Chains A and B, each alone.
Chain A
Amino acid sequence: MDLKTPLSERDVRRLKVGDVIYLSGIIFTSRDKAHSRVVHDNETLPIDAKGLAVYHCGPIVRKDGKRWNIISAGPTTSSRLEDMESDFIRSTGIRMIIGKGGMGERTTKACMEYGVVYCSFTGGASLIGADCIKRVVDVFWLDMGIPEAVWVFEVSRFGPLVVSIDSKGNNLYEDVKRRARTQV
């Protein structure tokens, strides 16, 4: 299924766990430090993120002249952001989280409440990720270092993304883990 940002609440509420999607439009990166700046330091995200997707990613970039080139951009482990994500959702108005490894109960609840989905991008698929990035639109908060800065990307058919937390309270990771526990 193909989707394009900005995403509406309706777009997102229709998605269910297990759906495979390819996303086009604008996405931006934010990981530990940028999340903390928004959630703990109450700073305003430097872009209007309403309807956009946040990508948990710290890319490898190279500056050729004035132009930033994305060399490698796979997902980072989302669970590190679990304590901050629900507040991040509330204050930014994002509709989609892209990461890897899944998130917990608080994020799942926030996804239900605000109409957001969590999508898994294959961990380590950094060159496929980079291929889908057509352009670096902007970069903010470079003072935090290249991996931690907020990178704004224009992407084309970014994916495959697997919806693993939907807005109905389903969490694929928790289902898999629950079944696994019975096998130990």
Chain B
Amino acid sequence: MIYPSHSKYALREIEVELEKIIFNLIKKASTQLPDDTERALRKAYEQETNQIAKLQLKTILDNIEIARRKELPICQDTGTLIFFVDVGIDFPYKHEIRNSIYKAVEIATNVIPLRPNCVDPFTDKNTGNLGEKIPWIEWNLIEGKDCKITLLPKGAGSENCSALEMFNPSDGMEKIEDFVVNHIVECNGKPCPPVIVGMGIGGGADIAMKLAKRSLLRPVGERSKNKTIADLEERLLKRINETGIGPMGLGGKTTALDVHIEYASRHPASFPVALSIQCWANRRASVIIKENGDIEWI
């Protein structure tokens, strides 16, 4: 229950409630792999015939099980914490969200625990999980009175495999498809395959990159609602898996669990294509906080 009054005392109580919710969000995201991803990994395990690949997938599935049972982080790289906040224009506790996130991150770092993953680029000092502009909050103002918070903890192994290419509009889709498949081949085992490939097309360099990352929030197995895009997702997934890079880059049938594409209109003279790669530990969790303080986990 969130207390609806805005007196000074109650404000702290609202923050405490929000902190608890966000703490639980961080814990869920760090320790429980979404069902869609686990299902896809299990399917990959069942289909695999290469013994080394099968051993990788078995180890992954065992690790997921231990994480769930012991409520511990799936991977020691608990990532850079990126919060996507879709806040209703009439959500009554807008002011408290930012501080509650910071406080919850601080508590979660000690309690779950998370690895201290914030390093100042100039002094090299590790500041825990709170640092300059980190955790990153991606604000999105929406209609209504609810607030949806999604956490995507992003590990560095996969993040270091991000890519951006500014194509010429005349290059054509075939060249873009080759770029994606080639990139996954050259990344090989580095991003911890089987990966989820997030692809952002259009907008501009920054917009394409943001779309690529945002596409990772979509569940594994869910196709774009746009038929052309959905077909491209299917085609790329098939081609990536035909490369045989396999789990951990050691060879095998499943290199990617899915390809997700989001797009924006492009400038007539520009064709940006961005890739955000997610490791098999596709950690994400969402919660909706209602105006009356009720919460819904999704």
Contact assessment for A184 and B181 in the assembled complex, using a CB-CB cutoff below 8 Å: yes
User: Could you list 6 examples of A-B contacts with CB < 8 Å?
Assistant: A71-B76, A124-B281, A176-B188, A176-B244, A183-B242, A184-B243
Contact assessment for B245 and A177 in the assembled complex, using a CB-CB cutoff below 8 Å: yes
Within 8 A of B (CB), among A115-144: 120, 122-129, 131
Q: A125-B59, A126-B63 are in contact. Are A60 and B73 (CB under 8 A)?
A: yes
Instruction: Output the least CB separation between B121 and chain A (Å).
Output: 14
A76 within 8 A of B: yes
Q: A60-B78, A71-B72, A147-B115 are in contact. Are A128 and B56 (CB under 8 A)?
A: no
Among A126, A127, A176, contact of B251 (Cβ-Cβ < 8 Å): A176
A44 within 8 A of B: no
Contact assessment for B74 and A160 in the assembled complex, using a CB-CB cutoff below 8 Å: no
Annotate B41-70 by CB proximity to A: 1 below 8 A, 0 otherwise.
000000000001001100110110011001
* A positions within 8 Å CB-CB of B: 18, 20, 57-60, 62, 71-74, 76-77, 79, 100-102, 120, 122-129, 131, 145-147, 160, 162, 164, 172-173, 175-177, 179-181, 183-184
* B positions within 8 Å CB-CB of A: 52, 55-56, 59-60, 62-63, 66-67, 70, 72-78, 113-117, 119, 126, 156-157, 160, 178, 181-182, 185-186, 188-190, 192, 239, 242-246, 248-251, 279-281
Q: How many Å lie between the Cα of A55 and that of B131 in the bound state?
A: 28
Contact assessment for B115 and A162 in the assembled complex, using a CB-CB cutoff below 8 Å: no
- In the complex formed, the residue of A with least CB distance to B280 is A124
- For the complex of A and B, list the 6 residue pairs with the smallest distance between their C-beta atoms, beginning with the closest: A123-B192, A145-B126, A180-B243, A72-B76, A101-B189, A126-B76
Q: How many Å lie between the Cα of A102 and that of B186 in the bound state?
A: 12
Instruction: Output the least CB separation between B57 and chain A (Å).
Output: 9
**B residues in contact with A101, CB < 8 Å:** 157, 188-190, 192, 248-249
Contact assessment for B189 and A120 in the assembled complex, using a CB-CB cutoff below 8 Å: yes
Q: How many Å lie between the Cα of A177 and that of B60 in the bound state?
A: 22
Q: How many Å lie between the Cα of A180 and that of B246 in the bound state?
A: 10
Q: A100-B248, A147-B115 are in contact. Are A162 and B52 (CB under 8 A)?
A: yes
Q: How many Å lie between the Cα of A112 and that of B156 in the bound state?
A: 30
Contact assessment for B76 and A128 in the assembled complex, using a CB-CB cutoff below 8 Å: no
Describe A's contact surface by its main secondary structure: mixed
Contact assessment for A127 and B70 in the assembled complex, using a CB-CB cutoff below 8 Å: yes
Instruction: Output the least CB separation between B227 and chain A (Å).
Output: 26
Instruction: Output the least CB separation between A17 and chain B (Å).
Output: 10
Most chain B Cβ neighbours within 10 Å, of A129, A172, A184: A184
Q: How many Å lie between the Cα of A156 and that of B178 in the bound state?
A: 44
Contact assessment for A58 and B115 in the assembled complex, using a CB-CB cutoff below 8 Å: yes
- In the complex formed, the residue of B with least CB distance to A123 is B192
Among B59, B75, B245, contact of A176 (Cβ-Cβ < 8 Å): B245
Q: How many Å lie between the Cα of A100 and that of B119 in the bound state?
A: 23
Contact assessment for A77 and B63 in the assembled complex, using a CB-CB cutoff below 8 Å: no
Q: A120-B189, A146-B115 are in contact. Are A173 and B66 (CB under 8 A)?
A: no
Among B52, B60, B75, B250, contact of A72 (Cβ-Cβ < 8 Å): B75
**B residues in contact with A172, CB < 8 Å:** 250-251
Instruction: Output the least CB separation between B126 and chain A (Å).
Output: 4
Contact assessment for B243 and A124 in the assembled complex, using a CB-CB cutoff below 8 Å: no
Contact assessment for A74 and B75 in the assembled complex, using a CB-CB cutoff below 8 Å: yes
Instruction: Output the least CB separation between B144 and chain A (Å).
Output: 37
Instruction: Output the least CB separation between B147 and chain A (Å).
Output: 30
Q: How many Å lie between the Cα of A79 and that of B189 in the bound state?
A: 10
Among A77, A120, A131, contact of B157 (Cβ-Cβ < 8 Å): A77
Contact assessment for A60 and B113 in the assembled complex, using a CB-CB cutoff below 8 Å: yes
Q: How many Å lie between the Cα of A160 and that of B55 in the bound state?
A: 8
**B residues in contact with A127, CB < 8 Å:** 63, 66-67, 70, 72, 74
Instruction: Output the least CB separation between B85 and chain A (Å).
Output: 26
